[in-house]
Amino acid sequence: MKIIRRKSRVVKIGSVCIGGKYPVAIQSMVKTKTSHIEKAVQEIQGLKKAGCEIVRVAVRDSSDAVGIKKIKQRVDLPLVADIHFDWRLGIKSIESGADKIRLNPGNINKEAQIKEVVHALKAHGVPLRIGVNSGSVRTFNDRRSSMADKLVTSCLNYVRIVEKLRFFDIVLSLKGSGCLDTVEAYRKIAKRCDYPLHLGVTATGLPLQGAVKSSIAIGSLLLDGLGDTIRISLTDESRQEVKVAQIILESLGMRTFRPEIISCPTCGRCEVNLVKIVKELENRLSTIDNRISGRPLKVAVMGCVVNGPGEAREADIGIAFGKREGLVFKNGKPIKKVAYAQAVRALLKEMEAKWRLRTLKK
Amino acid sequence: MKIIRRKSRVVKIGSVCIGGKYPVAIQSMVKTKTSHIEKAVQEIQGLKKAGCEIVRVAVRDSSDAVGIKKIKQRVDLPLVADIHFDWRLGIKSIESGADKIRLNPGNINKEAQIKEVVHALKAHGVPLRIGVNSGSVRTFNDRRSSMADKLVTSCLNYVRIVEKLRFFDIVLSLKGSGCLDTVEAYRKIAKRCDYPLHLGVTATGLPLQGAVKSSIAIGSLLLDGLGDTIRISLTDESRQEVKVAQIILESLGMRTFRPEIISCPTCGRCEVNLVKIVKELENRLSTIDNRISGRPLKVAVMGCVVNGPGEAREADIGIAFGKREGLVFKNGKPIKKVAYAQAVRALLKEMEAKWRLRTLKK
């Protein structure tokens, strides 16, 4: 199965292009106040290290808008200004060097105000995200439509206003707080235009529920070929949002970040403490620089002979545990047997020998 | 958006029906040895408490097969015997009272052996799962097919053998270790027969990666209307598998287990410690019996005025925090303002008043 991506327009956000054939970009949003420069810079640096490629900041007032300028002097990730209620903060953020502006049709919707912002966007060559959310969608006296249709209608009305101003550097998002609304809204809007899509589910909750909801909705849409940038919303640290985003893209074979560890759930057949071994291996492999490994290294750690040899054979390096020892596979062939306690060391040794992974954590 | 489920044949596993219009059933697999009766019973009781509806056990030898009989005297969940390599263990498990047998076409595939097992299944009125996995799929000299096609071919060949024996109480699974293989295989098999589908991704790895992979593949398939029972494989405790399964089904509006908490990711606009409040609320709501709440209670906890009032209005009970206090919503209407520190207590009080949730954890 191959994912055939929708043909979308290319939009450039600072140094990062999204849309077209560009890789699906990962973004997150800073949870500290934008005007608290020191803390915000620290969070953004952590996000970058985690693999975030575009970062958004809230702009509540002038001090936040001015903050963008100061932050940009110290970080090199594209910065998106999140604007609500007050269109003038959009202009100020553009003047401060924001690389993209997000407007919410639910709270800035007067044509004259939109015109002012678009004018500034054009003057500075900055793109716009039209970001509709279920929590703030305007219904325009439409009480009978489904949530998905409300999101689509609100978004398309806004697109038309902006297009009338001959501005087309647009990214769209239509986030519901539920999976069904979100999937329906994005599927519908995708047929109506070629603007790149920023995928996300809004207000998904605590980490596990949030990861599951986001994976279902964003995963299904990416499988459909929709989506040019993704943001996972979690009631948790922002770096965790990036991690989940990476796993989603890796699971669909769309991006490569870390070695993939295939490991079984274990059952009554398993004689070894597999959880411990896999955790140790994940920890040891977590510092591999994907530019060194080049492609996703696939490592299989399997608890018994049922699916063990098969999965180990399909991986670059694998181990299938049996009674008392494990059989190590490399490039699809069994190469040696090792005792349980030597398993992690043996796998790492083979990996280092083959891929020169000098950054393996000791 | 409504999920339109594929019309599948109904198969009865002990007291639980799957297929047709029956709810998608949650299953898991015991990680302790089946012959360690005391421990196995304990794990199954924990699984039942967590919401597991069908439970599978590994049968490696005669002592495991005999163990099924002893376990069945002490637990009332339908028990599925997982059989590999030795068809005679299938017969022994059926005689011990197993409620379903899982055979793997990768390691039990001689027609004469299958015939013996099917004969016993018929005699005892027990259904069969034909469970193909990427780690043990037989390719029958077929080296050029994709993994998904191998899974489908292997499964359909087996189905034909069993159908020739005039046995049709069949459930199918085609688990790849990757999302793309898995989704493709299930989509293809769904068009070729009407047997109920047991969905799962095999060997997904540690909890977070496993939850994400499973949510993408199983979520997408459920959205397509496919799937009659699901099993989440995690290199983690089996109860955690049930929790993830529940969240997947809840997120798609297919089942109801616990109150749903909608909460925002927070950003620079948020003045309150939302993570702490949501965690406390989740903990307090975790003991609500869904038979009391009847339908999924929807609770929104939002950090600011952008999407806060909107999501809180859409929920049964909600709170949108502003500067210094939160505005509580009930049935879509704002009812009162409360200080940050009183938020959880205020929400619980409103819920207790409305739904008589006497089981709220104090």
CB of B43 within 8 Å of any CB in chain A?
A: no
Tally of CB atoms within 10 A around A150: 23
Entry pTM: 0.95
pLDDT digits (tens, 9 = 90+) for B126-182: 999 999 999 989 766 677 899 999 999 999 999 999 999 999 999 999 999 999 999
Residue B291's pLDDT band (boundaries 50, 70, 90)?
Answer: very low
Check whether A291 has a pLDDT greater than 50: no
CB contact under 8 A, B177 and A279: no
Class of domain B11-251: alpha beta
pLDDT digits (tens, 9 = 90+) for B99-120: 999 999 999 999 999 999 999 9
Which residue in chain A is spatially nearest to B318 when comparing CA positions? A135
pLDDT digits (tens, 9 = 90+) for A41-92: 999 999 999 999 999 999 999 999 999 999 999 999 999 999 999 999 999 9
CA–CA dist A284, A291 (Å, integer): 17
Closest CA to A281 of A355, A336, A361, A352: A361
Q: What is the mean pLDDT of chain A?
A: 93
A:250-279 residues touching chain B, CB 8 A cutoff: 251-253, 260-270, 274-275, 278-279
Residue whose token pair is 């020892």: A325
Which pLDDT belongs to residue B356? 61
Hey, what are A116's tokens? 């002012």
CA dist list (Å): B66 to B42, B123, B303: 17, 19, 56
With contact defined as beta carbons under 8 Å apart, do B165 and B118 qualify? Answer: yes
ipTM of the complex: 0.94
CA dist list (Å): A184 to A26, A312, B131, B300: 22, 39, 32, 22
What are the sequence ranges of the domains in chain B? Answer: 11-251, 260-361
Q: Which residues pair with B300 in a beta bridge?
A: B262, B318
Q: Contacts of residue B215 in chain A, CB cutoff 8 Å?
A: 211-213, 215-216, 219
Burial class (CB in 10 A: 0-12, 13-18, 19+), B36: middle
Hey, what are A169's tokens? 């550097």
Closest CA to A1 of B133, B199, B184: B184
With contact defined as beta carbons under 8 Å apart, do B259 and B288 qualify? Answer: yes
Which pLDDT belongs to residue A296? 74
Residue A27's pLDDT band (boundaries 50, 70, 90)?
Answer: very high
Which pLDDT belongs to residue B297? 83
**B341-357 average pLDDT score:** 83
Closest CA to B174 of B205, B145, B153: B153
Which amino acid appears at position B117 of this protein?
A: V
CA–CA dist A78, A100 (Å, integer): 8
- For B260-361, the fitting CATH number among 3.40.50.300, 3.20.20.10, 3.30.413.10, 3.40.50.150 is 3.30.413.10
pLDDT digits (tens, 9 = 90+) for A199-255: 999 988 899 999 999 999 999 999 999 999 999 999 999 999 999 999 999 999 999
Q: What percent of chain B has pLDDT over 90?
A: 85
> Is A152 in a helix, a strand, or coil?
helix
Residue A293's pLDDT band (boundaries 50, 70, 90)?
Answer: low
Check whether A342 has a pLDDT greater than 90: yes
Cβ-proximal residues to B174 (8 Å cutoff; 6+ apart), any chain: B132, B148, B151, B152, B155, B182, B185, B186, B189
Tally of CB atoms within 10 A around B179: 29
pLDDT digits (tens, 9 = 90+) for A91-124: 999 999 999 999 999 999 999 999 999 999 999 9
CB contact under 8 A, A261 and B133: no
Check whether B361 has a pLDDT greater than 50: no
> Is A317 in a helix, a strand, or coil?
strand
Q: Which of B1, B58, B235 sits opposite A274 (nearest CB)?
A: B235
CB contact under 8 A, A307 and B1: no
CB of B39 within 8 Å of any CB in chain A?
A: no
CB of B212 within 8 Å of any CB in chain A?
A: yes
CB of A27 within 8 Å of any CB in chain B?
A: no
Q: What is the mean pLDDT of chain B?
A: 93
CB contact under 8 A, B212 and A208: no
